[in-house]
Amino acid sequence: MWAAAAALAVAVPFYLEGFWLQTGLFAMSAAVGAIGIALLTGSTGQLSMGHAFFLAVGAYSYVYFADDPAAGASHALGGLGLPTPIAAVLAVVTAGVAGGLFSPIAGRLKGAYLGIATLALIFLGQHLLFNAEPVTGGYNGRAVPPMELFGLVFADSPSLVVFNVPFGSLERLWFLGLLVVLGAAAFARGVLRGRPGRAMNTIRDHEIAAGVMGVPVARYRAGVFVLSSMYGGLAGVMLALVFQRTVPDYFSVLLSLDYLAMIVIGGLGSIGGAIIGAVFVSVLPQLLTRYSDNLPLIAEPGSGGVSPAEAARILYGAAVVTVVLFLPGGLAGLFGRLRAMAAGRAALFTRAPQARLSPPPASSSPSPSPDTRR
């Protein structure tokens, strides 16, 4: 099954059009950010409402580090002109530094108090994005320099043809996004299966017991917050490369709510659940926008009716309520139960022919003697 999934993922750019590739890349960037918030909220029990802030830090840091001000149309915009791979790494590190500056607060607060404190990051970030124009470009944002890795430019030009299929920016980014998602998921799974993961789950389930057993609760909370921030920064870099332009309005509190919906719908504390929830939440608005003409009760944006984005929020809001009430394990837990049921039925069917072919067991009771029959 894994081999079939890998073959399908590799074959997608050769057959699907740009809309589906862009939708898939949005889902990949959302999956990376959802893994980060799953480590913080699902595995450690820390509520964060400021995840969109770290996505913005990653996206704008990449643009600033990679953009060359001398080559831009507006010399008012700053930039360092670094190689794009180095700029991407520094953007992730910058997001981690931003998380580290907030980590002392994250190490001491928990629950709703941390959620309210991280909500302030969104308002701070929006103020900086709109007013720090030499770095962010203000209301109009900034163009994103394309990634250039090992001589390959992830843009529409120069042209590239593979098996008679023209590979533009989306086709090239597709394979890069797959590698990033697989690496991010593998690293997070390794963290959860090791000693840090056991400590994080203990903090989530019983903080006092974790402290009694010698787990440094505040240090773990701060460290996981930094790690989640770096995942958010990486998701921001991917999002900037797909969008090809950074816009301040996108990194609002609604984006943070979307990420919380992703991990709840997919399943708290599960890396696979975070990816499933990210695909569900990020793909649904795109599908409703694409097929809004054929769907009832959905109007075009700006026409006064229910727009596709609003309809998507209503639908996955209902999905959150459904998961909380009826599926505590989320979609990942539902898939696990279905897989267990299928395995049980397969085992039952394999045992049944063996039971029919095997001879009947000999009776354990002794046969009556002739004297007894009389």
Give the model's pLDDT for residue 259: 92
CA separation, residue 270 to residues 71, 137, 181, 197 (Å):
44, 37, 15, 12
How many CA atoms does the CB half-sphere of 137 hold within 13 Å?
A: 22
CA angle 300, 304, 310 (to 5 degrees): 65
Closest to 43 in 3D by CA, of 271, 332, 321:
271
The two structure tokens encoding residue 156: 């529409």
Residues 6 or more apart from 178 whose CB is under 8 A from it?
A: 9, 28
**H-state helical runs in the chain:** 2-15, 18-37, 51-66, 84-108, 112-131, 133-136, 169-193, 195-205, 207-212, 217-243, 253-266, 271-290, 308-326, 330-357, 370-373
Cβ contacts of 157 within 8 Å, gap of 6 or more: none
Asked if 97 and 58 touch (Cβ cutoff 8 Å), the reply is no
Q: Identify the pLDDT of residue 55.
A: 95
Identify the residue whose tokens are 């870099």: 237
Distance CA 349, CA 337 (A): 18
Residue whose structure tokens are 């098996």 = 163
Angstrom distance (rounded) from CA 186 to CA 182: 6
Phi/psi-derived region of residue 154, left when phi > 0, alpha when psi is between -120 and 50, beta in every other case: beta
- Cα separation, 368 vs 39, in Å, equals 70
pLDDT in the model for residue 303: 63
Residues 6 or more apart in contact with residue 244 via CB below 8 angstroms:
143, 144, 146, 169
pLDDT of residue 369: 52
Q: CA–CA separation, 241 vs 234, rounded Å?
A: 11
333 CB-contact burial (10 Å; exposed 0-12 / middle 13-18 / buried 19+): middle
Whole-prediction pTM: 0.85
The answer to whether the beta carbons of residues 291 and 59 sit under 8 Å apart is no
pLDDT at 236: 94
DSSP symbol at 310: H
Give the number of other Cβ atoms within 10 Å of residue 65's Cβ: 21
pLDDT per position in the chain (374 positions), as tens? 778 877 888 888 888 888 889 999 999 999 999 999 999 988 888 888 989 999 999 999 999 999 887 654 445 777 888 999 999 999 999 999 999 999 888 888 887 888 888 999 999 999 999 988 888 888 888 889 989 888 888 887 777 777 777 787 888 899 999 999 999 999 999 999 988 888 888 888 888 888 888 888 888 899 999 999 999 999 999 999 998 889 898 998 889 998 998 998 888 878 888 998 899 888 888 887 777 666 666 766 666 667 777 777 788 788 888 887 887 777 777 777 777 787 777 777 776 665 555 565 555 555 555 554 44
